């Protein structure tokens, strides 16, 4: 039996304001990822264990509270 798959491509034309919002969100995601990666590496060096998903989520919540509106999407 042959299965045919169809793919669709969409192009977005965001306004200037939408572009700024998307760029800000991408920047914040990159910053959070890099901070978490650094924290994970340091934790592994200290303990020899990896961070659990729960501990990562707790840490991210603390960062959002400490950094204030900068990290609120």
Q: Where are the domains of the chain?
A: 17-71
Tell me the pTM: 0.70
Provide φ and ψ at 39, rounded to 5°. -65, -40
With residues binned 3-state (H G I as helix, E B as strand, rest as coil), the percentages for the chain, rounded to 5, are: 70, 0, 30
Return d(Cα 52, Cα 6) in angstroms, integer. Answer: 38
Quick one: pLDDT at residue 10?
Answer: 93
- Report mean pLDDT in 10-residue bins for the chain, 73 residues: 88 95 91 91 94 90 79 61
Residue carrying the six token digits 């994970």 = 40
List C-alpha distances in Å: 14 to 18, 19, 27, 72. 5, 6, 17, 21
């Amino acid at each position: 039996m042959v299965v045919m798959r169809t793919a669709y491509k969409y192009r977005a034309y965001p306004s200037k304001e939408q572009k700024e919002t998307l760029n800000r969100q991408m920047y914040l995601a990159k910053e959070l990822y890099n901070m978490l990666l650094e924290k994970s590496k340091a934790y592994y060096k200290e303990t020899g264990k990896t961070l659990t998903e729960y501990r990562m989520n707790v840490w991210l919540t603390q960062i959002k509270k400490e950094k204030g509106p900068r990290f609120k999407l």
